[in-house]
Amino acid sequence: MSDFELIIVGGGLASARAIRAYREAGGEGTIALVSADSTIPYHRPPLSKRYLRGEAEQADTLVEPHAFYNGNGIELLLETEVASIDPGKHTITTRDGHDYRSRKLLLATGAVPRQLDVDGAELPGVFTLRSLSDSTAIREAAAETRDAVVVGSGFIGMEVAASLSELELDVTLVSRDVDLFSQLGSPEISERLVTLYGERGVDVLRGDEVRAFRGHSRLDTVELHSGPAVGAGLAVVGVGVQPAVSFLEGRGSSSTTGSSSTRGMRRTRPASTPPVTSRPSSIRSSAGGGASSTGRTPTTRAPRSGGSSPAPTAATTPSRPSSPNRSD
Ligand SMILES: Cc1cc2nc3c(=O)[nH]c(=O)nc-3n(C[C@H](O)[C@H](O)[C@H](O)COP(=O)(O)OP(=O)(O)OC[C@H]3O[C@@H](n4cnc5c(N)ncnc54)[C@H](O)[C@@H]3O)c2cc1C
């Protein structure tokens, strides 16, 4: 069994910052970074923005260069998922059966995306977005299709819809909530976003949910509760995250895909959100503005700008909500 002074479980921003802070504070001894990710820690904000649009590459996203880990004596255990810990013995056990011991243990495993518990959620072409490889896969899929459905109108959904729109895809944004960014509790901001996204050609469906993803070998249609089926070669589900901590319960995977730890659960809404008991009619917002109809009438999109004007990215949305560090 290998021994370390400090083991850090998780390979995200928190872990990279912790290594730097630990060393700067005089922390000595061997450090192991144990991460389910396949690459050294990177910034996730570009994954829904510049990296997704092909304006940045993997190297641009790194928190620290490779040399930082070599220089600080870090043993990198990548693609290594921790399955359980034993605080009494000061050990961790990885999914591939290896044990490691340390005097100190830092858990920084972040979160995994929630999945939609609907038919077809596992079809190729249906994505969640958390990792660099997720973003790469969405980017590649976007190059192969014209139509995309984005599910969820929180940060991830809004940003991905904006980026895919800027990539000239026909984007339908499906929001269970009538208000976009409903966490803000601001109908005024929501209406401004509806207008903005509509002007940029995004078809915004509010008060609606996905019934099923359909397709033979891969996604081609998204069925909605309100009735219409939307053609889509690509769908991105952004319906929140949950802490990646199931390994603490010693009961299986905390997979960074979220698929195994969440399978079988009702995953379409945060626990604190009451279920929708009487579903409002879907509100479809047409090009140029607010809610214009409740039916299945195809929406007239605003003409595309030919790529010259900016898409409704985070930078152009009014009143960015409470997360002050969001950038890029
Ligand atoms: C697409 C996207 C865009 C974002 N944009 C912004 C933004 O603009 N502004 C902003 O402030 N925030 C943004 N965020 C949120 C921000 O990225 C997170 O707050 C940040 O990633 C949290 O860092 P973390 O290190 O705590 O966790 P994470 O980044 O989630 O890292 C967790 C790490 O733990 C690993 N892990 C999990 N379970 C295990 C296990 N059992 N064994 C081993 N390793 C494990 C994972 O593989 C991962 O490496 C965005 C997030 C995403 C996904």
pLDDT at 305 exceeding the cut of 50: no
| CATH number of the domain residue 233 falls in | 3.50.50.60
Domain that holds residue 183: 114-241+274-316
> What is the chain's mean pLDDT, rounded?
83
The C-alpha atoms of residue 128 and residue 116 are separated, in whole angstroms, by 10
pLDDT over threshold 60, residue 178 = yes
pLDDT bucket at 234, cuts 50 / 70 / 90: very high
> Given this model, what pLDDT does residue 295 score?
32
- The atom number, within ligand 1, closest to the CA of 134 reads 1
Please tell me whether residues 162 and 68 are part of one structural domain. Answer: no
More confident: 12 or 258: 12
What spacing in Å lies between the alpha carbon of 180 and ligand 1's midpoint?
23
Centre of ligand 1 to C-alpha 23, Å, is 22
Separation CA 172–CA 284 (nearest Å): 10
Distance 12 CA to ligand 1 centre (A): 5
Q: DSSP characters for 133-175?
A: HHHHHHHHHHTT-SEEEEE--SHHHHHHHHHHHHTT-EEEEEE
Considering only CA atoms, which residue is closest to atom 4 of ligand 1?
45
Are 105 and 129 members of one domain? no
Domain boundary among 80, 109, 138: 109
- CB of 241 closer than 6 A to ligand 1? no
Measured in angstroms, how far is the CA atom of residue 17 from the centroid of ligand 1?
13
Q: Tell me, what amino acid is at 58?
A: Q
Please state the atom number of ligand 1 nearest to the C-alpha of residue 35.
44
Domain boundary residue, one of 50, 83, 109 = 109
Residues 183 and 37 in one domain: no
247 lines ligand 1 (CB under 6 A): yes
Task: Give the tens place of pLDDT for each residue, 91-136.
Answer: 999 999 999 999 999 999 999 999 999 999 999 999 999 999 999 9
pLDDT per residue over 47-79, tens digit each? 999 999 999 999 999 999 999 999 999 999 999
What pLDDT shows up at residue 281? 52
**One domain for residues 39 and 182:** no
Q: Answer for the pair 144, 233: CB distance below 8 angstroms, yes or no.
A: yes
247 CA from centroid of ligand 1 (Å): 17
Q: Which residues of 24-42 are buried (b: 16+ CB within 10 A; e: fewer)?
A: eeeeeeebbbbbbbebbbb
- Is residue 217's pLDDT more than 50? yes
